[in-house]
Chains A and B, each alone.
Chain A
Amino acid sequence: MAGFYNLDHKEVIRIKVKKCDGRMKPEYKKFSIDPQITSFEMLQGILARAFEINSDFTICYLAIDSEGQAVYLSMLSDWDMDAAFQCAADPCLKLKVDLRPFEEELEDWDVIAPAEIPQHRITSLLDKGSILGTITGTITHNLGKTVNTMQRAIGLKHADEVIKPLKPPMSDMEFKNYLDSEGHMIRPNEFRLSVYQGGIEPSLRRVGWRHLLNIFPVNMSGQHRFDYMKRKEEEYRRLREEWRERFKNNTATEEVKYVASMVKKDVLRTDRCHGFYAGSDENENTLSLFHILVTYALTHPDVSYCQGMSDLASPLLVTQKDEGQAYICFCALMNRLRSNFTVEGNAIMTKFKHLSELLAMYDPVLHSYLLQKNAGDLFFCYRWFLLELKREFPFTDALYVLEVMWATLPPSPPPVELELVDADYSCKLFSSSPCSPTFTIQQAMYAKLLAMRRVGALHLATQAPLPIKQKPAGGLSSDNQVLLHPTLISSYDASPVDTDDHGSDFPQVDNPMTRSMQMKSNSIDQILQEDGSLYGKEYSTIRNADNSSGDSSSSDSSQLEEGAGEEELNRVDSGHCSCISLPVEECKSFTFTNILVEEENHERSWSVNSVVSDFSDPPTQFELSLDSNANNSTDNIELHTIHSYDSDKGNEPHILEKVTRDVGNGKQGETTESNSGIFQSMKRLLSSPKKKPTDVSPQASPRMSGGPLHKQGSAPILSPDHEMGLKLAKNYSDGNIADCKDASESIEGIATNGGGAASSVRDPSKLPPPQEFGEGNPFLMFLCLTLLVQHRDKIIQQGMFYEDIAMHFDKLVRRHDASRALHNARQLYTEYLRAQQSNMEKDKDVEDLGFSC
């Protein structure tokens, strides 16, 4: 115990606990304590509460003896505990709690010789039966408590309630548990579950987001992903150069120029307060954002560019720190979100409708108030939907919110690979039609919303509509005008401008310093200016002083930039290597199923019980948690107060201990397979409720076929990827709570008891199913609900009208409290999923419910 004397005081000790209780399967929990203030007695108390142990129990800790063997040593005193802290707590202390005085299960912890794995891969140590064991062990125990815990989770307000994170953000150590030794993502659902619960550490976001955003096809090893990214980046560069060439050759169509000028205006005011985009308009990152958006608009003519996209792309670039990689992510994100920008806006309309339903269910008082004030359509939430709340939270918090929300979405990897262009790209780009059809399409959506608004507007419609001032018969219809707009621009473009002589108005500034700065800046203006007609003469005369270096510099610097990007990618991904995989389809179900089902037993029973286990633990168990994210919502969990659920103490009902189990069990193969199977079943259930999950329908079998393959390939993670681990570990500080802490000041709206009647109405099972709710993003709906309800009292008490409400929320841009919103939304979401699940259970034959434990 040499370490014992090297008293390097740790500030925090992370502890993983395995509880054994006779023939019951072990339970796992994870928490952190402060070694300076924790006595052995306190530790005992924590453990007793955590596992709800009423009887005597013994504590052992896992240590490595002098021969490198893992042994359990008894912990009987403060002395033992200190010894354990000193010598066995890196990276975390593994405890075993045994309800019987004698232990017999050492091998459970010892499947893999510790010498073979680095310490941080502790999870590999865990018994491969742990999931099964945990579940079967706790099902009976927990089932009876479901209702209680749900109520506790959702229905109550406690003055002393403190929002705690479900778990620390995902570290790269943890992340590697979801990969096999060659970097295959073998546990995508557990990965998502973990992100859902705690987000991702900033240093891991770059990689984590790529998975969340579904840019990789399944079955990719780390090496494959690396190659894939490189190839895709190359493809992006080609696409980008196509239009940049046009500017250089002055062959850009009016549309291209129009799009570029639009995008330019917007990137210059997108997140400029964030350090990444701060400074002058020549900021390279702003330029990258410009490139991404223009390239996307031109290669996706049906979507083109629409305001709001820059807000969506910005966090991706911040996170990826590389233009090409951010573009790839953006394409993937837009695959899901493009419907917000296109066609008739049905996607957005549906979201309004669903949010309204949700509000009516959870806060009928507020809902009817809004109706009465003619704000029932909730159109002031338009930005929330369009940007998926990105702008509602402080930037860093928004990253967290985004990833948590993405994690609730079902994995949907591209079937072959991610397309960087629309199918109709090439033909459309080359046609030099002066006007983009997309603009007229796009406008239809919001017009529709507002038409509705207008029709229903109390304050506008007290009388018959005013006669509209008529245009002369020859006047253009409004739509025509829009269509013509780009044409108009083109006529301005014909104003006397030429790129050739724009330098003559200003002396050419040419010294090495300036040149290199110019080379670096490679400004947007320069690109646009290459075709001087875009801005007209004044533009060039005004700007060219800064941008006189011309075409060559832009290509030069882009080369530099690309090279750097590659190198960076290399660094990040080189740790991965080859091949195993998941069957594509299997992961395609909502992570919500994961949230519910991930602990599911292998007998295919459904997961009410797993929910139970989520909520089964006394809230005190994490009191000393490292993550005691001192949250400022101490006094009011608004949603709670609205509902008159009657229950006892409610604290964060979620799932820290469950995560521990997830992460802790090393049996990826079976786990994934079983999860996949469950997801499979879940999916089929969702689509055809009458079917039993056991029925393997013909169309399902191909997916199932992936199971054995996967199982085969995903033998325990025996040889972790040291290189990557080390690399990532470098800039990673274990146990950090990352970015979710600096939530903005608590917002004052305190719901008191406006919705006492709500509980009778509230039945989330009546909401649309997850794949439909919120147009496939139910969690967004719950987040929006929490934001609304947090301000209900203010809205009602001040008698706000539509405009007042809209103004109120406009003022809260970037000021909402992310932790609090997520906390509430998670609770509601869990309740919703649970209700949805029991819906399905009702629908299917009930005999399957016999939990075979």
Chain B
Amino acid sequence: MSYAYLFKYIIIGDTGVGKSCLLLQFTDKRFQPVHDLTIGVEFGARMITIDGKQIKLQIWDTAGQESFRSITRSYYRGAAGALLVYDITRRDTFNHLTTWLEDARQHSNSNMVIMLIGNKSDLEARREVKKEEGEAFAREHGLIFMETSAKTAANVEEAFINTAKEIYQKIQDGVFDINNEANGIKIGPQHSPASQSLNVGGSGGNQGGNCC
């Protein structure tokens, strides 16, 4: 299946906040209560449609452990979007956001769209971080914010798609240099570099299409 654009995402955040589960919910529409802990980096991909255009999201799901942090850093630069995830039932994961954000800002390209995600919103009874706190943090740092539940799928689509919309908007605004793949954006195979115009039709040729 061909695509007009490919956006690279990275998912970051403390270990155990549900990064892999978010990804799985988004790509496979299922929830695995006990998910293998991620070793290194794992990948997921899904096609979405924005503005009538097929956009492939390629998502790099990183290991949350401190000792793997440097990996994560290496991946920031190639990402157009980042989902920065914390667990609303574990305040420490919220408290670490500053560190993650600094890291991300420092190692990513400046236009990377960062979505702050408070995950596990289904566990209201165990909530430790108020939604308002998340909103405030996002406001303060210029992030988009959502609370999600990888378990119930609440807001999961939205989180990924809203991020894509933001990126797409930035492309249209000319903020992103789409010729530089280091921005985490790639033009679809059928869209020759010569015709980078955003108006290119969504479903052209079919060569080299490599959907997930």
Produce 1/0 per residue, B15-50, CB < 8 A to A: 110000000000000000011111111111100000
Name the one of B43, B71, B109, B183 contacting A447, with C-beta atoms under 8 angstroms.
Answer: B71
B78 at the interface (CB under 8 A from A): yes
Contact indicator B39/A383 (Cβ below 8 Å): yes
Complex contacts, A800 vs chain B, CB 8 Å: 210
In the bound complex, do residue A454 and residue B91 qualify as a contact, i.e. CB atoms below 8 Å apart? no
* Contact mask for chain A residues 297-319; partner B; CB cutoff 8 A; 1 contact, 0 none: 00000000011101100000000
Is the CB–CB distance between B182 and A447 below 8 Å?
no
| CB contact under 8 A between A469 and B70, given known A463-B179, A536-B92 | no
- Decide: A810 and B182 in contact? CB cutoff 8 A: no
Give the interface segment out of A13-21, A71-79, A438-446, A559-567: A438-446
Inside 8 A of B179's CB, which chain A residues have their CB? 462-463
A307–B183 CA distance with the chains assembled, in angstroms: 29
Question: Could you say which of A438, A450, A465, A495 contacts B75, with CB atoms under 8 Å apart?
Answer: A450
B35 near A478 with CB under 8 A, answer: no
Residues of chain A in range 446-471 having any CB-CB distance to chain B below 8 Å: 446-447, 449-451, 453-454, 457, 459-463, 465-471
Q: From residue 523 to 540 of chain A, which have CB atoms closer than 8 A to chain B?
A: 535-536, 538-539
Shortest beta-carbon distance from A534 to chain B in Å: 9
The answer, yes or no, to whether B106 is at the interface (CB within 8 Å) is yes
CB of B58 closer than 8 Å to a CB of A: yes
Beta-carbon nearest neighbor of A310 in chain B = B37
A372: CB under 8 A from chain B? no
Which chain A residues border B106 with CB–CB below 8 Å?
468-471, 475, 478
Contact in complex: A469, B108 (CB < 8 Å): yes
CA distance A622 to B39 in the complex (A): 41
* Alpha-carbon distance between A798 and B207 when the two chains are bound, in angstroms: 11
Quick one: CB contact mask for A157-193 with B, threshold 8 Å, 1 for yes? 0000000000000000000000000000000000000
Whether B170 sits at the interface, judged by CB under 8 Å, is no
Contact (Cβ within 8 A) B102 A466: no
Residue interface mask A788-821, B partner, CB < 8 A = 1: 0000000000111101101100100100000000
Interface size class of A (residues with CB under 8 A): 35 or more
B110 to chain A, nearest CB (A): 4
CB distance from A755 to the nearest CB of B (A): 23
- Within 8 Å by CB of A462, from B38, B181, B208, lies B181
Please indicate the chain B residues that have their CB under 8 angstroms from the CB of A459 in the complex.
78, 181, 186
User: Is A387 close to B, CB under 8 A?
Assistant: yes
B1 CB → nearest A CB, Å? 12
Task: Give the complex CA separation of A306 and B126 in angstroms.
Answer: 28
Contact status of A446 and B68, CB under 8 A, knowing A270-B37, A481-B103, A806-B42:
yes
Query: Residues 147-189 of chain B: 1 if any A CB is under 8 Å from the residue's CB, otherwise 0?
Result: 0000000000000000000000000000001011111001000
Contact of A485 among B38, B66, B181 (CB under 8 A): B66
Which of A273, A463, A807 is B180 in contact with, Cβ under 8 Å? A463
Question: What are the residues of chain A within 8 A of B38 when measuring CB–CB?
Answer: 307
Q: Please name the residue on chain A nearest to B123 by beta carbon.
A: A542
Stretch at the interface among A203-211, A261-269, A719-727: A261-269
A382 and B39 contact, Cβ closer than 8 Å, known pairs A481-B102, A488-B95? yes
Is A307's CB under 8 angstroms from B74's CB? Answer: no
Residue of B nearest to A495 (CB): B91
Asked if A386 lies at the interface with its beta carbon under 8 angstroms from chain B, I say yes
* Cβ of A482 under 8 Å from chain B: yes
Q: How far is the CA of A422 from the CA of B180 in the complex (A)?
A: 48
Contact A265 B107 (CB under 8 A): no
Is B182 touching A465 in the complex (CB atoms < 8 A)? yes
Please determine whether A450 and B71 come into contact, CB atoms closer than 8 angstroms.
yes
Report A-chain residues with C-beta under 8 Å of the C-beta of B68: 307, 443, 446
Question: Is B102 a contact partner of A454 (Cβ separation < 8 A)?
Answer: no
Mark contacts of B59-74 with chain A using CB atoms, 8 A cut-off: 1 yes-contact digit, 0 otherwise.
0100101111111011
B200 within 8 A of A: no
Question: A387 contacts B43, CB within 8 Å?
Answer: no
Which residue of A has the minimal Cβ distance to B207? A799
Q: Which residues of A contact B102 (CB under 8 A)?
A: 471, 475-476, 481
> When A443-B67, A801-B210, A803-B43 are in contact, do A478 and B128 touch as well, CB less than 8 Å?
no
Could you mark each residue 123-137 of chain A with 1 if its beta carbon is under 8 Å from any beta carbon of chain B, else 0? Answer: 000000000000000
Evaluate contact between A307 and B39: CB separation under 8 angstroms.
yes
With A and B bound together, what is the CA distance between A675 and B16 in angstroms? 50
Among residues 55 to 102 in chain B, which have CB atoms less than 8 Å away from a CB atom of chain A?
A: 58, 60, 63, 65-71, 73-75, 77-78, 89-92, 95-96, 99, 102
Given contacts A383-B39, A801-B210, contact A265 B16 (CB under 8 A): yes
What 0/1 pattern do residues 279 to 308 of A give for CB contact below 8 A with B? 000000000000000000000000000111
Given contacts A262-B15, A442-B67, A482-B66, contact A813 B36 (CB under 8 A): yes
- Complex CA gap A37/B29 in Å reads 52
B105 close to chain A: CB less than 8 A: yes
Bound-complex Cα distance A638 to B90 (A): 48
Using CB atoms, name the residue of chain B closest to A447: B70
Query: Is A466 a contact partner of B182 (Cβ separation < 8 A)?
Result: yes
Q: In the bound complex, how far is the Cα of B96 from the Cα of A795, in angstroms?
A: 39
Instruction: Kindly provide the distance from the CB of B23 to the nearest chain A CB, expressed in whole angstroms.
Output: 10
A798 to B208, CA, bound (A): 8
Task: Give the residues in chain B near A468, CB-CB below 8 Å.
Answer: 77, 106-109
Q: Is the CB of B37 within 8 A of A471?
A: no
Once bound together, how far apart are the Cα atoms of A466 and B212, in whole Å? 27
Given the known A-B contacts A262-B15, A799-B208, are A450 and B37 also in contact in the complex, defined by CB atoms under 8 Å? no
The distance from the CB of A440 to the nearest CB of chain B, in whole angstroms, is 9
Judge whether A489 and B92 touch: CB under 8 Å. yes
Q: How far is the CA of A262 from the CA of B65 in the complex (A)?
A: 8
Q: Are A478 and B181 touching (Cβ within 8 A)?
A: no
Bound CA–CA A347/B112 (angstroms): 34
* Residues 552-599 of A at the B interface (beta carbon under 8 Å): none
- Give every chain B residue within 8 A of A475 (Cβ-Cβ): 102, 106
A492 interfacial contact with B, CB 8 Å: yes
Is A804's CB under 8 angstroms from B212's CB?
yes
Closest to B27 in A: A807
Instruction: List the A side residues contacting B109 at CB < 8 Å.
Output: 466-469
Judge whether A248 is part of the interface by a CB distance below 8 angstroms: no
Q: Is the CB of A520 closer than 8 A to any CB of chain B?
A: no
Enumerate chain B residues within 8 angstroms of A463, measured Cβ to Cβ: 177, 179-182
| B3 smallest CB distance to A (angstroms) | 13
Cβ–Cβ contact A273 & B45, under 8 A: no
| Cβ distance B130 to chain A, nearest Cβ, rounded Å | 11
| Contact yes or no, A466 B65, CB < 8 A | no
Determine which of A307, A453, A476, A484 lies in contact with B67 in the assembled complex, contact meaning CB atoms within 8 Å.
Answer: A307
Interchain CB contact under 8 A, A467 and B110: yes
Within the complex, which residue of A387, A446, A471, A813 is in contact with B71, where a contact is CB–CB below 8 Å? A446
Tell me whether A272 is interfacial, beta carbon within 8 Å: yes
Q: Given A383-B40, A481-B103, check contact A807 B15 (CB 8 Å).
A: no
- Do A306 and B67 touch (CB < 8 A)? yes
User: Given the complex of chains A and B, what is the CA–CA distance between A446 and B91 in angstroms?
Assistant: 28
Known A269-B37, A391-B39, A450-B74; 18 more pairs at CB < 8 Å: A439-B67, A446-B74, A447-B71, A447-B73, A454-B74, A457-B78, A460-B182, A462-B180, A462-B182, A465-B77, A466-B182, A467-B110, A476-B102, A485-B66, A488-B95, A489-B92, A803-B45, A803-B58
Mark A residues whose CB is within 8 Å of B: 262, 265-266, 268-270, 272-273, 306-308, 310-311, 379, 382-383, 386-387, 391, 438-439, 442-444, 446-447, 449-451, 453-454, 457, 459-463, 465-471, 475-476, 478, 481-482, 484-485, 488-489, 492, 495, 535-536, 538-539, 542, 798-801, 803-804, 806-807, 810, 813
The 7 A-B pairs of least Cβ separation, nearest first, read: A450-B74, A447-B70, A443-B70, A442-B67, A538-B128, A265-B16, A469-B110
* A-B pairs with beta carbons under 8 Å apart, 18 shown: A266-B15, A270-B36, A307-B63, A391-B39, A439-B66, A446-B71, A447-B70, A453-B74, A457-B78, A459-B181, A463-B182, A466-B109, A466-B182, A469-B106, A471-B105, A542-B89, A542-B128, A803-B58
Q: Which residues does B use to contact A, with CB under 8 Å?
A: 15-16, 34-45, 58, 60, 63, 65-71, 73-75, 77-78, 89-92, 95-96, 99, 102-103, 105-110, 126, 128, 177, 179-183, 186, 208, 210, 212
